[in-house]
Structure 1
Amino acid sequence: MARPCVDVNGIMRCPCRDCANRYFHHIELVESHLYLHGIDRTYTRWIFHGEEDPCNINVTANLHTNTNARIEEVDEIQELLGDVQMGTFLEANIGESSTSRGPTTDNHEHRTGFGRLWEDGMGELYPGCDKFTKVAFILKMLNIKTICNISNKAFDMIIKLIKEALPDGETLPCSYRAAKRYCRDLSFGYESIHACQNDCVLFWKEHADKVQCPTCNTSRWSCVKGSGKKIPQKVLRYFPIKPRLQRLFMSKDMAKNMRWHKDERKDDGNTLGHPADGLAWKEFDKEHEWFARDSRNVQLGLASDGFNPFGNMSTTYSIWPVVLMPYNLPPWMCMKDPNMILSLIIPGRTAPGNDIDVYLRPLVDDLHELWNEGVTTYDSLTKETFQLHAALLWTINDFPAYGNLSGYSTKGKLACPVCNKDTMSYRLKYGSKECYMCHRRWLPQDHVWRQERELFDGTEEHRLEPEEMSRDQLLQQLIHVEHVQFGKHIGNKRKHRTSGGDINVSNWRKKSIFFKLPYWSTLKLRHNLDVMHIEKNICDSILGTLMNIPGKTKDTANAQRDLREMGIRKELHLQTNGATTKMPVAAYTLTRDEKNQLCEWLKCVKFPDGYASNIGRCVNKLPGRISGMKSHDCHVFLQRLLPVAIRGKLTPEIEKTLIEMSNFFTQLCATDIKSRYLEANEGRHCCDSMQDGTNIYTSIF
């Protein structure tokens, strides 16, 4: 191999694991990095250090000849297209030579949009420029505009100044509007769809020309006072998924990774390391063999939840992004930010609730077409076009959003979507909440806990676990909720349904729009619960109860009254002495000294960089409280810190229970899950995650 590429100042690319050939350092610092971090394992062909590059890639080779250049510049440029030089990007990823006309396909949009981008990408920024091509410089400028929040007028002025400074023959566009054309050619745009203010309909397709909502007669427009300018009441942003799925196959490496789930995944039958190892995926492949035959067909997961974009808790605003994950990729790639596909941004000051189906219609229509007709796609790995199909396997949400997307209400007596009509609930007299205490039904018939009364709800458990609902039974229930009128207007007040004695009445509030997909009713698993939300709820409840935090603890006076009503846990009943009532101190409540020790320990805990945030900032030692932990903080605390934090502070029985629960979540969130571990825990059921806080006494403590 030739001598590594070092300039006259002793500067070279650093191939260590942290720098990964992105940063330039002095040769002595590079040697230190290699000793400390080791070389990048993925860097097998040393194209930046003397070996010949088979694809003739020369990415950002001249950007760091100046040693004072900022190292962030290369990162920002590389994130635009994967390579800075448009010509070399197309050479490396599509496999065409620099003199080629580019990829050919029958897709008209590909010829007019991307073909135009190919021609511009090969051109110089100005005669003799060897650092930037026209497209690379424009995308860099657009990136800076977005990051620095530069106005359109300021961008136009900057472009004008640069054009005057460059020599004759420069090829820069004259305005921001002209520069945005390159984003459209890369399919980075979105479609704005007006929506009814009350979430009744979209002004789209059959309602595109209407100025009033056909359901509630609300005006489509909101006029600005004094100007008469019409502004839509609500705007849905839809990012079409077809061009985004096509782009996954424009890179050779990505096209190869999109076949990983079938060509490279090792299936031993005993380990779950990828969704393709699960029973739901395998049964889907059996049901639709034509789809599974081509490993390039994309299988997707959908996630959605609301958040406040303003970061101000005093402002009530809920915007809902809808994100798709391509599960064809390896497990270390499919859930990474760059590979997630943003498809919808649902607006609104309030959450859409059950009316979310109105906003999902553009996405579902595209998914329906991708299943039936597909879309013509160019595969850069095989250098041929094929018909790409896609399928939505399931959704991932927290429990309230589960009810919005599935159509099954997650509240009330029948709140468990798995048990359905067989849900066993108990209404707490003093707590005024539904409590679900039927989890012993999943234990073996001879299990000792089935006979225990005082440890649970005061009764013995002899019932069998409910049978899994069949496809026909599900569709039969949905017949009664097919015709649901969407919208939050006054004339659409929904009457609350209760189970009563009618077998046809259930907790269904609508038939989900996903049932318009031909394969949705055949899926074994349609909706998933996000484990991070469950971990946060459990962590907050346990910490609040252990440390007796006011407003957070589940050990309240009403809870102890309910325990006496059920006739269980006599040591936790309220103690009445004349006119005074005293709450007993439970065995799981920490003393003041123990709380101070726990807070001091958490203040001193240090984590590796990037592993977790500074949890010590959430600790207040004076009153002995822990509050303000985010979801990932609770994830780390529950799995890693809780077993150490409670050591020696509680009774052995309580310590063992909490440690086993911590180990359960640790195993559940592991990279690979052994099937035997799932079989050992098959007695645990979804109703356990629905336990009301008061029922912690009967399920954990």
Structure 2
Amino acid sequence: MSSYKVWFYHGETDAYHVGSTSENVPERVEESRLEEGGVGTVQMVHDAHRELMQEFIEPANIVEEPNLEVKRFYDMLDASKSHLYEGCKEGHSPLYAATRMMNIKTDYNLAENCVDAWADFVKDILPEDNISPASYNEIEKLVSGLGLPYQMIDVCIENCMIYWQSDAEYLACRFCGKPRFQNTSGRSRVAFKHMWYLPLADRLKRLYQAERTAAAMRWHHEHSIDGEIAHPSDAEAWKHFQRIFPSFAEESRNVYLGLCTDGFNPFGKHGRQYSLWPLILKSYNLPLSLCMKREFLFLSILVPGPEHPKRSLDVFLQPLIHELQVLWEHGVQAYDVSWQQNFMMRAVLMWTFRDFPAYGMLSGWTTHGRLSCPYCQDNTDAFQLKHGTKTCWFDCHRRFLPRSHPYRRNKKSFKKNHVVSNGPPPELDGENLLMQLRDFGAEKKTYCGGSVHNPVDGYGEFHNWHKHSIFGVLPYWKNLLLRHNLDVMHVKKNVFDNLMNTVLNVPGKTKDNIKSILDLPSICNRPHLHVLSSGRGPIPRFRLDGDAKDALFRWIVRKVKFPDGYASNLRNYVDNQEGRLSGMKSHDCHVFMQRLLPFAFVNLLPKNEHEAIACNLY
């Protein structure tokens, strides 16, 4: 922590001097110069000029020794700098070899036996006096000295609970009653299911122990914004938090975190069905050039499969939430190598970001059905389609326009004969949301069991709360201006898939189907798009015919090229048999929308339809 020393003295006119221990100041102030009542005068001057003083006070340049834990870490690094063999290249040490081998194993998913053979071969070809690790076991021992542990926690087979803290000694689930361990003949007991938790505090402290990142962790506080939003710290949600918690904001080394999660199949789309959910934390203290790099994305929890966790995700979040509470209320002792000072490091979880289905898993508000919008809630204008049977949000957004906007009185371009006079729904703060949860009786999933979906009063009719999110136990969560964010890449992929499937008229995927055409007369004033006398729908101007589709696919296969690493090879996604683009990743959809759509249809669609697609999506 920064320390200051303040001297006050009287000269011919009362004056004061403020400085740190490193400034050139008088070593002591003679008592004779302090007049009678000088202590009161000093206090008055201090109070009157408090704001002015703060402008000139700077942290004292006090060099401190690292605390015992950090000193042991540095000593371990120093000891590991011994050479692999006499005369080897500078920096080639056993720890360097072990970390490189471990990284290669992880990057290329090598088996342990492969690493054993490879390490033994490397040791064999080096000079005889080398001390290179000869097996995967030796590599693990060296790397474990870095002090970044993980925990393997047993889980109920139905995701009802985790066997952790006060529940660690249970032999069966206290909700569903199913046993914790399998019936095996061996001495060690094997759990049916377990999760992995990687403690966060140790990883955050390492950012301040490394010279490369210690100073960069204060970038969010020290950079100049010039009136532009170049980083989340420049936005209103960040500033709102700092206004509410000024004591946290004063320490520039406190950590601001974001959490993201999504499910994926580790065996690929052609493998067996498996849903694995990693939860990843990132620090927003770092500049944009480092913030999203792979090495600064910290895997915190690995939720096992093969089943989708659904509403029980909160059960797996318990260790992380507990550690976040400790980091907020008490903090942990860390060492800043750039300032060479020990300090108490605290952390805050600013928000989460993921796709819309996972929004419901984290927030507790179900994201499907008529009440799926977490902002409009029961004040929604959504309605159900008669023939399509799906919930529709067409023309639900004109109420967000200014009162005098001409679109509010437009009876033709939106719902026919419909004028919008009502305003937008009120914005609900954290206190109102907590009041809703209390009134409807929504329980925390950690209390009622992850797989036990107790109905909440009024669910689906007045609200969509299915649980009280575990994030609510964080003391600051209700005060945050922005709690949950949608991943724009997922949104872009959904928009791109629906657009291309409709333009290409992919059977079963297009949105321009016969059911949508049958619903059209009761909603819109579009008689030229109604069902024909033959019972078929009209051919819309935005649909590509056979020749246009072939021209588009030939252009993608033969002409479209990107620099290495910019995007995937789009020709691999062209399915000529079904006449569609299939298997595209989110980033590829983003690149296609941003770089190709502005001119992809320029010679394939009429001018108005091409401009509508290009201008609205570019």
SS of corresponding position for 1:381: coil
1:537 is aligned, of 494, 506, 521, to 494
Equivalent position amino acid for 2:189 in 1: K
Equivalent position amino acid for 2:301 in 1: L
Residue of structure 1 equivalent to 2:201: 242
Contact 2:442 2:456 in 1 (8 A): no
Cα distance 1:141–1:410, how it changes in 2: closer, same or farther (>3 A)?
closer
CA positional deviation for 1:641: 0.9
- Looking at structure 1, the residues matched to 493 and 121 of structure 2 have their Cα atoms a distance apart, in angstroms, of 52
Residue 181 (str. 1) matches residue 141 (str. 2) = yes
Contact 1:355 1:487 in 2 (8 A): no
Residue of structure 1 equivalent to 2:17: none
Contact 1:298 1:389 in 2 (8 A): yes
Contact 1:183 1:189 in 2 (8 A): no
1:423 is aligned, of 356, 359, 380, to 380
Equivalent position amino acid for 2:76 in 1: L
Cα distance 1:173–1:470, how it changes in 2: closer, same or farther (>3 A)?
closer
* Aligned pairs (5 A) from 1:106-505: 106-108=67-69, 110-112=70-72, 114-115=73-74, 117-126=76-85, 129-131=88-90, 132-146=92-106, 152=112, 171=131, 176-224=136-184, 230-264=189-223, 266-269=224-227, 271-313=228-270, 315-437=272-394, 438-458=396-416, 459-479=418-438, 480-485=440-445, 492-495=452-455, 505=462
CA positional deviation for 1:198: 0.8
Residue of structure 2 equivalent to 1:631: 586
Cα distance 1:471–1:403, how it changes in 2: closer, same or farther (>3 A)?
same
Contact 1:407 1:508 in 2 (8 A): yes
Alignment TM-score, normalising by the size of structure 1: 0.73
Contact 1:199 1:488 in 2 (8 A): no
Cα distance 1:185–1:559, how it changes in 2: closer, same or farther (>3 A)?
same
- Looking at structure 2, the residues matched to 486 and 156 of structure 1 have their Cα atoms a distance apart, in angstroms, of 42
SS of corresponding position for 1:249: helix
1:157-183 deviation per Cα after TM superposition (whole angstroms, max 9, x unaligned): 776777777777655567644442322
1:432-458 deviation per Cα after TM superposition (whole angstroms, max 9, x unaligned): 111113111111223222222343222
CA positional deviation for 1:655: 2.8
Residue 645 (str. 1) matches residue 606 (str. 2) = no
Equivalent position amino acid for 1:133 in 2: S
Cα distance 1:148–1:461, how it changes in 2: closer, same or farther (>3 A)?
closer
Cα distance 1:165–1:617, how it changes in 2: closer, same or farther (>3 A)?
closer
- Looking at structure 1, the residues matched to 277 and 353 of structure 2 have their Cα atoms a distance apart, in angstroms, of 14
1:540-567 deviation per Cα after TM superposition (whole angstroms, max 9, x unaligned): 1111111111122101111111112325
SS of corresponding position for 2:426: coil
CA positional deviation for 1:369: 0.7
Contact 1:199 1:487 in 2 (8 A): no
Cα distance 1:185–1:421, how it changes in 2: closer, same or farther (>3 A)?
same
Residue of structure 2 equivalent to 1:35: none
**Alpha carbon RMSD of aligned pairs, Å?**
2.7
Equivalent position amino acid for 1:549 in 2: V
- Looking at structure 2, the residues matched to 153 and 619 of structure 1 have their Cα atoms a distance apart, in angstroms, of 39
CA positional deviation for 1:353: 1.4
Residue of structure 2 equivalent to 1:612: 567
Residue 105 (str. 1) matches residue 66 (str. 2) = yes
CA positional deviation for 1:387: 0.9
CA positional deviation for 1:595: 2.0
Cα distance 1:453–1:316, how it changes in 2: closer, same or farther (>3 A)?
farther
Contact 1:198 1:488 in 2 (8 A): no
CA positional deviation for 1:139: 2.9
1:189-209 deviation per Cα after TM superposition (whole angstroms, max 9, x unaligned): 311111111111110100111
Residue of structure 1 equivalent to 2:537: 583
- Looking at structure 1, the residues matched to 176 and 108 of structure 2 have their Cα atoms a distance apart, in angstroms, of 42
SS of corresponding position for 1:421: coil
Equivalent position amino acid for 2:182 in 1: S
Quote the sequence identity (%): 38
Cα distance 1:430–1:105, how it changes in 2: closer, same or farther (>3 A)?
same
- Looking at structure 1, the residues matched to 272 and 178 of structure 2 have their Cα atoms a distance apart, in angstroms, of 25
Residue 507 (str. 1) matches residue 464 (str. 2) = yes
CA positional deviation for 1:421: 2.1
Gaps of 5+ in 1: 1-102, 664-701
Contact 2:384 2:391 in 1 (8 A): yes
Cα distance 1:121–1:629, how it changes in 2: closer, same or farther (>3 A)?
same
SS of corresponding position for 1:222: coil
Equivalent position amino acid for 1:106 in 2: N
1:363-413 deviation per Cα after TM superposition (whole angstroms, max 9, x unaligned): 111111111111111111011111111110000110000010011111111
Cα distance 1:130–1:567, how it changes in 2: closer, same or farther (>3 A)?
closer
Range with bigger deviation, 417-426 or 157-166: 157-166
Equivalent position amino acid for 1:380 in 2: V
Cα distance 1:532–1:485, how it changes in 2: closer, same or farther (>3 A)?
closer
Cα distance 1:220–1:452, how it changes in 2: closer, same or farther (>3 A)?
same
Cα distance 1:585–1:294, how it changes in 2: closer, same or farther (>3 A)?
same
- Looking at structure 1, the residues matched to 429 and 105 of structure 2 have their Cα atoms a distance apart, in angstroms, of 54
Equivalent position amino acid for 2:443 in 1: H
1:476-532 deviation per Cα after TM superposition (whole angstroms, max 9, x unaligned): 10113442456998993544865687xxx4111111111111111000000000000
Residue of structure 2 equivalent to 1:661: 616
